[in-house]
Amino acid sequence: MNDDKKREDSEIPCLQKGGIFLENEHDVTDFRFACLLPKKRGDGSKKYCATYDEHNVCYAPEYGNISYCVKDDKNFNSRGCALGLGYLYDMKRFEDEKREKSKKTCPQKGGYYLENPEEIKDKRFACLLPKKNGDEQTKYCVTYDDIPLCYSVELSNIDYCDSSSLEYHSRGCALGLGYLWRFKQH
């Protein structure tokens, strides 16, 4: 099974088992992904285990692709695994914190918070704020339901909507935001 197919087939079972699924969605050159499942008695001798934010978890090789985190693999490297998983976990935590900040702050600023609550794999979220004259954000604006709104880079995570990103694509951004608009929260 190739990594793309394994990644696709791993996230939902990982989450259904109470796990934490880790991947770096903002770096197209980072192909690592991992599932951290709650630690069970005896896991420490068979699996690489760690504690993140008071969660005792172990790397689940059946839902990940990091060979240096598999204890019985010739590539096993405890320090490398700790650093790799720590980095991926920090990326997830940063993304989760940014999402929560956006959910709270966006409506307070009179904006619309957008995300897809129906699809667990759709991790995009965005904040569209009211357009203001002279606002630097006006170059990232769209109109929905006759309301001129501007994409907030600080309160969103869609790289192809950030004009400073290499992935910026204006049409893709408009289509993506249009799709998320139907789930808006104001």
How far, in whole angstroms, is CA 82 from its chain's centroid?
A: 20
Q: How much of the chain, in percent, has pLDDT values that exceed 90?
A: 66
Please determine, for residue 68, whether its predicted confidence score (pLDDT) is greater than 70: yes
pLDDT score of 134? 63
Note down the domain range covering 60: 3-96
Is-contact 76 70, C-beta < 8 A? yes
35 and 120 both lie in a single domain? no
At 131, which amino acid appears?
A: K
The tokens describing 61, both together, are 């090789």
- Of 96, 123, 154, the position where a domain reaches its end is 96
> How many domains does the structure of the chain reveal?
2
Q: What is the rounded CA–CA span in Å between residue 15 and residue 20?
A: 6
For 138-170, the pLDDT digits (tens) are 557 888 888 889 999 999 999 889 888 888 898
Cα distance from N-terminal residue to C-terminal residue, the chain: 43
What mean pLDDT do residues 98-106 have? 96
Question: Is 79 among the domain residues?
Answer: yes
Q: What is the rounded CA–CA span in Å between residue 173 and residue 100?
A: 22
Q: What is the rounded CA–CA span in Å between residue 124 and residue 97?
A: 14
Helices (H) and strands (E) in the chain, counts: 4, 8
Please determine, for residue 13, whether its predicted confidence score (pLDDT) is greater than 80: yes
Mean pLDDT of the chain: 89
- Of 96, 120, 139, the position where a domain reaches its end is 96
Confidence band of 135 (pLDDT split at 50, 70, 90): low
- Of 96, 120, 154, the position where a domain reaches its end is 96
What is the pTM assigned to this prediction?
Answer: 0.81
Q: What is the rounded CA–CA span in Å between residue 141 and residue 152?
A: 9
Q: How much of the chain, in percent, has pLDDT values that exceed 70?
A: 92
**Per-residue DSSP letter, 185:** B
pLDDT score of 139? 58
Is-contact 127 155, C-beta < 8 A? yes
